Amino acid sequence: MDIKRTVLWVIFFVSAVMLFDNWQRDHGRQSMFFPNVTPTHTASTAAPGTTTPGTQPADLPATNASTAAAPGSTAPAAQGQLVHFHTDVFDGEIDTRGGTLSKLSLVTQGNGKQPNLVITLFDHTATHTYLARTGLLGGDFPNHTDIFTATDGPRELQDGANSFSISLDSPVKGGVKVVKTYTFTRGSYVIGVSTKVENVGTAPVTPTAYMELVRDSQPVETPRFSHTFIGPAVYTNEHHFQKITFPDIDKNKQDYATSANNGWIAMVQHYFASAWIPQEGAKRDIYVEKIDPNLYRVGVKEPMATIQPGQSEDVTARLFAGPDEERMLQGIAPGLDLVKDYGWVTIIAKPLFWLLEKIHGLVGNWGWAIVLLTLLIKAVFFPLSAASYKSMARMKEITPRMQALRERFKSDPQKMNAALMELYKTEKVNPFGGCLPVVIQIPVFISLYWVLLSSVEMRGAPWILWIHDLSQQDPFFILPVLMAVSMFLQTRLNPTPPDPVQAKMMMFMPIAFSVMFFFFPAGLVLYYVVNNVLSIAQQYYITRMMGKNRKKAAVAK
């Protein structure tokens, strides 16, 4: 029975690794064992904003035939200028070509205990593209390919000021002028974006405003042997949170809500996200598509009312770009906290993070919060763990007798199984008694794994001494070594397999499992080390108590 269980565990582990590797390869990521084959694409290779005769710019959102650009729009694109701005949380640039938010860095000032943290989200370089842009459809109207002019005004937060705005004026096209205004607020990762459409022509116009996020599929830094989602997402009240992978877009298999009058669209990556949040109640069409061999976008098209000559209409929206801090996201828009993606364990992970956050509020240190949460979970599951350890202790006691039966009936498997079953019945031992309690606890421990992996709060958070950032691997590999030692001790406390080869395999498995922990974030490894140490203490205590009870029973006889 022991060897069967071990073989099943080995098969399960190898299968899980191979399935994970195939899944990585299927999603366009580097295999752990085989080099990736570079896929070929049949999509157009035209650069964003370029045109061919008689067509609109290649990367404008698709619309009907009446929106084709006028002749002469194929002239080479002019070069825009960069308008630099700075707030207490942002440092970035607006490109006057399209009035596009082309660079945005998140700047978090350290508080003495934590370092200054800088991450660049939006960027436009030779190797990386990630933009937030807007424009008009429905005619030869200003869009993200036109050169805007920035008006005079502040470019950073002044002392005592709570906000400031940057406005950009478009050239007149199709009788329409656009005034685009970005409003930045102190302490906020939400940018107000207003698009004022003025009809300066002689005929009524009915434009459609679009807002989109454009990004390449360049991976972001994540811990090895783990995967976090990167790509577009759509949220509506009816369909809720829908993720779309880049490979699905490549295969034209994306599945998402295409219209709504609520919700938002986003680009998600590890720890951070950006999202366009149109006005609630405004009807919008949603699109997700590929516009270059390695460039994707998610956006909304919002139809506007007919604008008479001399009149104007405003389209307002909010643009979020910041960290996946759950409580902050909940206050910005319904469902926005789902960009912090726990996957299928969300129903368990959310309460665990809430509890972790409450503990952190008491102790003020995320490392100690992890330790205390793990201790609390072990206490809750102590009755189940006790049942498991008692079962394993009983199995360890009868292991010599089991081995003797195997030797006696090794030529007759049927008799050997019958004798083993009789032994289990006589000693009142369930060979699977140590497994069921562990299986029940697995969803909780997997959920806590995702909580620690997905929580941006761990980024730059110190614990003690050499651990200065719980989101990075242990610089001296002390925690991974402790993890390997604790797994080895657990193996020694379990029943020794009767087969020498199996016994050696069980001794080797802690080393094999520990290899990946050398590359895991320190916060994750800390959780597993504490969990293992508490398990060893529980198992030792229960085994010792059982031994004392047996001695008392023997004396009483």
- The residue type of 282 is A
pLDDT in tens, 16-33: 555 455 445 444 454 444
Of the listed ranges 20-24, 37-41, 352-356, 467-471, the least confidently predicted one is: 37-41
Separation CA 394–CA 168 (nearest Å): 77
Tokens 């719980």, residue?
Answer: 470
Quick one: how far is CA 306 from the chain centroid? 41
Show the CA angle centred on residue 320, arms to residues 296 and 116, nearest 5°: 105
DSSP 8-state assignment for residue 199: E
**Around Cβ 381, how many Cβ atoms within 10 Å?**
18
Give me the long-range contacts of 400-409 (CB less than 8 A, separation at least 24): 402/2, 402/498, 403/498, 406/498
Between 45 and 214, residue with greater pLDDT: 214
List the beta bridge partners of residue 276. 265, 319
Res. 103: pLDDT tops 70: yes
DSSP character at residue 458 = G
| Cβ–Cβ under 8 Å, residues 141 and 67 | no
**28 against 77, higher pLDDT:** 77
Query: What phi, psi does 404 have (nearest 5°)?
Result: -65, -40
What confidence tier does 209 reach under pLDDT thresholds 50, 70, 90? very high
Q: At what angle do helices 478-493 and 500-517 cross, to 10 degrees?
A: 160
d(CA 268, CA 288): 14
Q: How confident is the model at residue 342 (pLDDT cuts 50, 70, 90)?
A: confident
pLDDT tier, 167 (very low <50, low <70, confident <90, very high otherwise): very high
Least confident of 60-74, 108-122, 313-327, 379-393: 60-74
Coil/strand/helix, residue 82 = strand
Nearest-angstrom CA–CA distance, 123 and 215: 9
DSSP string, 83-97: EEEE-SSEEEEEETB
The torsion of the CA quartet 347, 349, 351, 355, rounded to 10 degrees, works out to 170
Cα distances (Å, whole numbers) of residue 90 to 155, 332, 459: 12, 17, 18
| SS3 call for 181 | strand
Residue 210's contacts (CB-CB under 8 Å, 6 or more residues apart) are 61, 134, 135, 136, 137, 299, 300, 301, 302
Residue-wise DSSP of 338-371: GGS--GGGHHHHHHHHHHHHHHHHHHS-HHHHHH
Q: Which of 82, 195, 212, 192 is nearest to 141 (CA)?
A: 195
| Residues paired with 43 in a beta bridge | none
Instruction: Determine the Cα–Cα distance for residues 328 and 189; give it in Å rounded to an integer.
Output: 9
Residue type at 492 in one-letter notation: R
Beta strands in 38-189 (DSSP E): 82-86, 90-95, 100-108, 117-124, 129-137, 149-150, 163-169, 176-185
Q: How far apart are the first and last CA of the chain?
A: 33
d(CA 402, CA 3): 12
Q: What is the DSSP letter of 27?
A: T
Q: How many Å apart are CA 478 and CA 485, to the nearest integer?
A: 11
Cα atoms found within 13 Å of the Cα of residue 106, Cβ hemisphere only = 20
Q: Which two structure tokens, joined as six digits, stand for 524?
A: 């994750």
Tell me how many degrees the CA angle 112-115-119 measures, rounded to the nearest 5: 145
Among residues 400, 403, 379, 383, the alpha carbon closest in space to that of 391 is found at 383
Report which of 320, 315, 322 is spatially closest to residue 333, judged by C-alpha positions.
320
- Cβ–Cβ under 8 Å, residues 318 and 190: yes
Largest CA-CA distance found in the chain, in angstroms, rounded: 109
Average pLDDT in the chain = 79
Mean pLDDT of 77-82: 77
- DSSP structure class, residue 308: -
Does 520 have pLDDT greater than 90? no
159 burial level (CB within 10 Å; 0-12, 13-18, 19+):
exposed
Q: Measured between alpha carbons, how far is 141 from 63 in angstroms, rounded to an integer?
A: 13
Residue 111 clears pLDDT 60, i.e. is over it: no
- Residues 6+ positions from 480 with CB-CB distance below 8 Å: 474, 514, 517, 518, 520, 525
Give tens-digit pLDDT for 365-415: 999 999 999 999 888 877 776 666 666 666 666 667 777 777 777 677 777
Q: Angle at Cα 224 formed by Cα 223 and Cα 228, nearest 5°?
A: 55
Angle made by CA atoms 516, 518, 524, in degrees to the nearest 5: 85
Confidence at 469, pLDDT banded by 50, 70, 90:
confident
pLDDT, one tens digit per residue, over 419-461 is 777 776 676 666 555 555 567 677 888 888 888 888 888 888 8
| pLDDT tops 90 at residue 481 | no
Tell me the C-alpha distance between 357 and 351, whole Å. Answer: 10
